[in-house]
Structure 1
């Protein structure tokens, strides 16, 4: 069954697309906004919002991750994990229209799909602390 526009599946796909764009930006030492602008076709609105939001708030997000990712320096994290954490943290802090449990579950699923065997647990642990600190627990 195809996903309806604005439905859960389309948000999931938007997060996956945003992750790909943020990954590209990170590996090419460019901003997400620069990578977004270079796309040959228009990027879905929610994915574009995530990329712009992460780019705009990157310093804030990295400082937050640095405080809560015990034993990790943000720059040394796997690229997928770093960008998933940035994206999900942006949603937790700046997108009150998205339930925190959805943000966290989808970030964990993407980590399990695209990163290391331990990434799902790592992403979940860091986001749980950030969600609690931001007062965004529950669904």
Structure 2
């Protein structure tokens, strides 16, 4: 399994890390970004910040879509990494017009391959694929 190579791929991975850490520690994602900037020499890519801001801003709507279409998997039962990867993928798919739909889905699947269980890529692909099909009605 290879790490993301593109700048955007790395930004996605970092956004997942930040959102995951925020959820695990029950803190705001922006506090995690601030802490990393203040306490490490980690450079936070502007696209990472854009993803985090977008997911945080749209999380209620994103979670509603994920809950509605995940077929028997309530959000709280999903592995935390899958939930975060799905939120990032859904934000890119539905709310970031700079990212082609197919790229949003495939990048989320790649993150699931690297970060989660053997079953996760198929689950992420299936759920985001469904949202991709429904995108015109979801955003209507």
After TM superposition, the score normalised by the length of structure 1 is 0.87
* Superposed displacement of residue 33, structure 1: 2.1
Q: Tell me how many residue pairs correspond in the alignment.
A: 129
Residues 69, 126 of structure 1: 8 Å contact kept: yes
CA distance in 2, matches of 1:12, 1:43: 13
Quote the RMSD (CA, aligned, Å): 1.6
**Displaced runs of 4+ in structure 1, greater than 3 A?**
none
SS of the residue 2:36 aligns to: coil
Higher mean Cα deviation, 35-44 or 76-85? 35-44
User: Would you say 1:33 and 2:34 are equivalent positions?
Assistant: no
How far residue 34 of structure 1 moved from its aligned partner, in angstroms, is 2.4
Query: What SS does the aligned partner of 1:129 have?
Result: helix
Q: How big is the shift at 1:57?
A: 1.0
Instruction: Report which of the two has the higher share of helix.
Output: 2
Consecutive unaligned residues in structure 2, runs of 5 or more: none
| Cα offset, 1:56, TM superposition | 1.0
CA separation in 1, counterparts of 2:29 and 2:68? 23
Deviation at 1:42, TM superposition (A): 4.6
Q: Unpaired segments of 5 or more residues in structure 1?
A: 1-7
